[in-house]
Amino acid sequence: MSALSGAQAPQRNITGILLIAMGSVVAAVLVILAVPYYAGSSARIASLYTNVAGPADRILAADIQAYAANRLRNLAAAKSDLSNEVQAETAFDNQLGTITFPPAPDPHADQLTTADAKRIKLIKLQLQVKSLRKLRALDSQVQAASAAVDAQVKIMRADLGLPAVSGGLY
Amino acid sequence: MSQRDTIQEQYPYPPSPHPGGSYQGAYQEAPYQDADYPQAPYADDDYREAFYPERDEERPQQKPKRRSVDAWMAQKSTTLPRFKRRSIALFFLRLPAFVPWFFILRGWLSLNTKDVLTLSEADVLGTGGEAAFLIAVSITPLITLTGARWYAPLRRWYGIFFALIGISDGTTAAITTSFSGGVFGRLAGHTFLVTGFLIVLIAVPILLTANTPAQRKLGTYWKKLQKLTYLLWGMIALHLALLDGFHPFDGPQGDGDPVFHQRFYQILAISLPLVLLRLPPVKRWVTEKRAAGQQWKVWCAFAPMAALYVLAFAFILNEEIFTGLQVLRLNPPAN
The DSSP string of B103-130 is HHHHHHHTTSGGGHHHHHHIIIIIHHHH
Segments making up each domain of chain A, as ranges: 42-159
Question: Which of A17, A45, A94 lies nearest to residue B256, judging by beta carbons?
Answer: A45
Put simply, the answer to whether B284 touches A16 (Cβ < 8 Å) is yes
Q: Is the pLDDT of residue B30 over 70?
A: no
- From CA B274, how far away is CA B270, in angstroms rounded? 7
Which residues are CB-neighbours of B32 under 8 A, at least 6 positions away? B39, B53
Gap between the Cα atoms of B323 and B335, Å rounded: 12
Q: What is the per-residue pLDDT for B335?
A: 54
Which chain A residues are within 8 Å of B322, Cβ to Cβ? 100
**pTM, entire model:** 0.76
- Residue A69 contacts B, CB cutoff 8 Å: no
Question: What's the pLDDT at A39?
Answer: 86
At B61 the pLDDT is: 53
Please tell me the distance in Å from A34's CA to the nearest CA on chain B. 9
Cβ neighbour number for residue B312 with a 10 Å cutoff:
24
Please tell me what DSSP assigns to residue B13.
Answer: P
| Bridge partner residues of B84 (DSSP) | B76
A12 neighbourhood in chain B, CB within 8 Å = 281, 284
Prediction ipTM score: 0.73
For the stretch B32-63, pLDDT in tens is 344 444 443 334 444 444 444 444 444 555 55
DSSP B233-255: HHHHHHHHHHHH-SS---SS-BS
pLDDT score of B6 more than 70: no
Average pLDDT over residues B58-75: 71
Rg (CA), chain B: 23
**Measured between beta carbons, which residues in chain B are less than 8 angstroms from residue A48?**
252-254, 256
Question: How far apart (Å, rounded) are the C-alpha atoms in residues A124 and A83?
Answer: 8
Is any Cβ of chain B less than 8 angstroms from the Cβ of A33?
no
Which pLDDT belongs to residue A8? 52
Residues forming a β-bridge with B76: B84
Please provide the size of chain B in residues: 335
- What's the pLDDT tens digit per position in A1-36? 444 454 555 555 799 999 999 999 999 999 999 999
